[in-house]
Structure formats: structure tokens, C-alpha cells
Amino acid sequence: MEETDVQNMELLQKRISEIGIIPVIKIKDAAGAVPLAQALARGGLPAAEITFRTDAAEEAIRRVHEELPEVMLGAGTVLTKEQVDRAVAAGAAYIVSPGLNREIVRYCREKGVPIIPGCANPSDIEVALEEGLKTVKFFPAEALGGIQMIKAMSAPYGGVTFLPTGGINESNLNDYLSFPKVVACGGSWMAPQDAIATKDWERIERLARSAVNAMLGLELKHVGVNSGDPETAAKDAAQFARLLGWELDEQPIATFVGGGFEIMKIPFRGKNGHVAIGCNNIKRARWHMERRGFVFDDDSVIMKNGKLRAIYLKDDIAGFAVHLLQK
């Protein structure tokens, strides 16, 4: 694979991983493609894999590409070289195929177009590796054994990452995303056919937002209180413990009251204290929050055992420093 192809694929994989969920779209009327993509983006998913399962696919891709260039746009269910040409000409940034067709893979490589082919078993993965690919679609995911099958195949093929699609929904989404070899998940549950047919864009926006919330798993972990010195911290911690009946956990620079309060013994971040927000994946949560207009302080990164553990927002909110905390 050419160096440019590798770079294109790495950039694609990074963006897909940050978004986390790729809506798989089957649309019969291209006129609805832009408002559909807008609804998904408002809900937090500026991405779409528009499948060549209908005659409207090419025009739908073209309209979204022209009017919403910020949307990460792929073409799915691509079976022929002619469909590759049409998809790319319309504005698709990458190609997804349901199976692994060497001819299509090589054609995409010749054109410098990233492709994620469908793989269902170890033999498919070996062919993908022979063709220089390291990211594959696992389809149909649930029917083929789900996350347990992916984990089993990852053992001998440690360098391969997966984009599972098929049977994935909000209830099993994080079963897949919690495995490091899963780069993202594809699905259509946030854009059901009846909602597309009735142009219920508000419903699609709500479903997309719900999917993002489920994926990120944001929750309040604890509140830090800036008592300022050990003596004051001891008194404050004792008061909270007596009020709530929670146990004290003494640490070098703070006392935890149960799991809800961190009473700081030294001057610390934030005028009033800090707020810890737990999340399933810090890098992914950061991308989505940055898209909402928030800025993070890279100098605040906390690592543990070589893994990202926490990072703070650059600016306080209501006098509190806010940081993400890896669950």
C-alpha cells in the first residue's frame, strides 16, 4: 500500500474512532438526505454511510457532500467498480463493502480511496492483510457471534481493528466499543426507515443524541472541595461524613468522603473546587465536547500505567474546574 493510502486510512480511522458511531443509511428519496444528515449532526453524529441499496444513493451522497462538507461521508454496500466511481465522484470519502472482494479492494487502492471491506472469518482477515488493510468491517456482527467472535479473531490478528455492523443497537453498543480493537460501530437504529419516510427529523435527532449519550456514558463521579489546608479539610470532611454517614478515605493531598466528595488539603484547581465527570472513553468524549465548543488543557493530562486517566477543561465552569475521568 502506498504511503499516501496509509495516511488516508489512518486519518479515516482516527475520525471514525472519535465519532464512535457511524449511522448506516438506506434512503429512497435523495431530497431527504440533507435534512437527515443535519438531524444526525445536531444529535452529535456528523457522519453517514449511505448505502447503495437504493437508486437514490449516489444523488444523496452528492447532496450531503455539497451542502454539509463537515459530515464524514462514506458509501456502503458497494459491490462493483462502477459503484466505486460513482460514489467517489459524488463525494464519498471512503468505501464500505459487505464482503471482501479483492478486485474492489485493489481498485480502491489504485484510486487512493480508503476501503473498509466486510470480513466474517479468519480467512477473510488474512486476505485483507495480504491486501495491506488493517481495518475491516465485521458484518453481520450479531449473527456471526458478536463481540465474542471479534475477541476470538483478534487473538491471532492483533494488528487488525474492526468496524462491526449488523444487529448493533443502543443496548449492546458499549459491549463492542469497550473492546480496544473495535474502532467504532455502525448501525441504523438512530435513523429508522419509518422516521426517514415520514421526514421525522426531530425523532432522528433525539435518537442520535441518545446514542451518543449511551456511548459516552457521562456521569458525575465526585465533587472536589477546596478546603485549602489540612486542618480545614479534616473538619469539612468530618462534617460531610457525619451528615451522610459515609466512610472517610485519607489520601496524601485529599480526603474522600464516600465516593462523592474529594476534600482537598492543599490549594487546587478551580476557585471553589473541581468536578469529575466519568466517561467510557476520554478521547472520544473529548472530541464530542470540543465539537460543542469546549477547549481542553493538554498540560493537565494525567496518565496511569501508560493510559490516559484524566484531563481538565481549559476554563472553569461556575468556579469549578472540570475534568474527564476514565471509568
Catalytic residue among 18, 26, 49, 58: 49
Of 288, 280, 289, nearest to 308 by C-alpha is: 280
Q: What pLDDT is attached to residue 6?
A: 66
Is position 28 annotated as part of the catalytic site? Answer: no
pLDDT tens across the length of the chain (327 residues): 555 666 788 899 999 999 999 999 999 999 999 999 999 999 999 999 999 999 999 999 999 999 999 999 999 999 999 999 999 999 999 999 999 999 999 999 999 999 999 999 999 999 999 999 999 999 999 999 999 999 999 999 999 999 999 999 999 999 999 999 999 999 999 999 999 999 999 999 999 999 999 999 999 999 999 999 999 999 999 999 999 999 999 999 999 999 999 999 999 999 999 999 999 999 999 999 999 999 999 999 999 999 999 999 999 999 999 999 999
Domain boundaries, the chain: 3-216, 219-326
Would you tell me which CATH number, out of the four given (3.10.20.30, 3.30.1370.60, 1.10.3720.10, 3.10.180.10), belongs to the domain 219-326?
3.10.180.10
CA separation for the pair 11, 5 (Å, rounded) = 10
Where helices occur in the chain by DSSP H, the ranges are 3-19, 33-42, 57-67, 81-90, 102-111, 122-130, 146-154, 173-177, 193-197, 201-216, 230-244, 282-291
Residue located via cell numbers 472536589:
224
Do 3-216 and 219-326 share a fold?
Answer: no
Between the alpha carbon of residue 54 and those of residues 25, 32, 57, 307, the distances in Å are 10, 13, 6, 44
Q: What pLDDT is attached to residue 8?
A: 82
Is position 137 annotated as part of the catalytic site? Answer: yes
Catalytic residue among 18, 58, 59, 137: 137
CA separation for the pair 316, 61 (Å, rounded) = 41
Give all strands of the β-sheet with 21-25 in edge-to-edge order: 161-164, 135-138, 115-119, 94-97, 72-76, 47-51, 21-25, 185-187
CA separation for the pair 251, 126 (Å, rounded) = 50
CA separation for the pair 102, 288 (Å, rounded) = 35
Angle (nearest 5°) at CA 259 between 253 and 264: 25
For residues 59 and 31, the answer to whether their CB atoms sit within 8 Å is no
Q: What pLDDT is attached to residue 7?
A: 75
Q: How many CA atoms lie within 13 A of 184 on its CB side?
A: 25
Q: How many CA atoms lie within 13 A of 84 on its CB side?
A: 22
- The kind and range of the H/E element at 277 are strand 273-279
Radius of gyration of the chain (CA): 23
CA separation for the pair 272, 235 (Å, rounded) = 17
CA separation for the pair 148, 162 (Å, rounded) = 13
**CB-count exposure of residue 258 (10 Å: 0-12, 13-18, 19+):** middle
Backbone angles phi, psi at 93, to 5 degrees: -85, -20
Task: Report the top-level CATH class of 3-216.
Answer: alpha beta
